[in-house]
Amino acid sequence: MRLAPQPSAQPLRLIVLLLFTTGVITSPVLSTGCPDRCVCDDQLVVQCAGQHLTTFPVNLPLATRQLIISNNRIVELPPLALNYLSDLVYLDCSNNSLTEISESTFGNLRKLAYLDLSFNTLTRIEDRTFGPLASLVMLRMTDNPGLSEIHPDAFEENAALQVLDVSRNNLTVLNITSLIALPALRSVGLSGNPWRCECENEDLCLSHLDHSPPCQTVCGSPSDMQGRRLGEVGIQLRTLCHQTLGSWDYLFFVVIGFVIFAAGTVSAWVMGVIMVLYERYIKKKDEQLDDEEETSDKGRTSRFFQVFPDLQVASMFSSNCEQKGEFSVLV
């Protein structure tokens, strides 16, 4: 049995008495003393760490500002007992056996600035769990090996939140839509989770929110992404996730393709018809011209060569040379 050391309780009572007599404290704050196996000091700090507690300590001073119940085996935070402590600023519940935090657990802790839920066995965080914690600045929730689900809006109302650590849990997805909207947030720890590097996590990968030591925030799945850093796959995901086409897009392409094909076929047919007609027209015209020439020029030249037969060969030769000359100039 480890009881609170007697020497510290004595001065505490003295101080309480002193405070009462001087009228500094008017509420029945510290009159209830200190819980079993805990140490309470005059700064309203209640220290119950490592005392093999299995239940939440009872008989806590109502004005407790800091409560440390780490390194025990407490399985539940009773909402009723906790919500009496409306002045609580600091609550360390790390290294216990908490499996569930209900939506009413922190209902009245409006001054709470620091909350540590690390090293527990939490499995999921609901929508409204941290909602009432309007002053919460730092939330540590690491090393819960079964914690695989955090509601997208779990931190939506924690406008004062500056530091969030969810390292070394079993998280595969985290919707950061409401997280990145928090005005004061400056550091998030994401390392040691089996992140699924697919489109649903695109924002997370691109966010650069992570402030874990380098190279410890990596993808757990799919297999081709395994072990790669989140920041590194972000750009790849962005291209990958926005080139997917819906069935309407495919239908559109099929219709467009058909229209182009049909238009091409029709225009080719029309062109063909025009070409044939044009050729016929040209042929007809040529024939007419030839007929005319035969009756005029051709008759004259043949008669000319009949008169000077040697010249015909000479003229053929010269025209050949001219053609060759043209060709070589072209080359």
Ligand X SMILES: *[C@@H]1O[C@H](CO)[C@@H](O)[C@H](O)[C@H]1NC(C)=O
- DSSP3 helix / strand / coil % (the chain, rounded to 5): 40, 10, 50
Q: Any idea how long the chain is? A: 331
148 near ligand X, judged by CB under 6 A: yes
175 near ligand X, judged by CB under 6 A: yes
For residue 147, the minimal CB distance to ligand X (Å) is 8
Give the count of beta carbons closer than 10 Å to the beta carbon of residue 74. Answer: 21
Q: Which amino acid is at 120?
A: N
Give the DSSP per-residue string, 217-257. -BEEESTTTTT-BHHHHHHHHHHHHHS---HHHHHHHHHHH
Site size toward ligand X (CB under 6 A) is 15
Nearest-angstrom CA–CA distance, 69 and 96: 8
Dig out the tokens for 248 from the structure.
Answer: 């309407």
Letters for 110-129 (x = contact with ligand X by CB under 6 A, - = none) are ---------x----------
Contacting ligand X within 177-206 (CB under 6 A):
177-178, 200
- Phi, psi of 37, deg, nearest 5: 65, 10
For residue 218, the minimal CB distance to ligand X (Å) is 16
Contacting ligand X within 208-267 (CB under 6 A):
none
Stretch that binds ligand X, among 83-91, 103-111, 167-175, 291-299 (CB under 6 A): 167-175
95 near ligand X, judged by CB under 6 A: yes
146 near ligand X, judged by CB under 6 A: yes
Nearest-angstrom CA–CA distance, 277 and 19: 116
For residue 27, the minimal CB distance to ligand X (Å) is 34
Stretch that binds ligand X, among 2-10, 97-105, 171-179, 275-283 (CB under 6 A): 171-179
**Rule CB under 6 A: which residues touch ligand X?**
50, 71, 95, 119, 145-146, 148, 152-153, 170, 172, 175, 177-178, 200
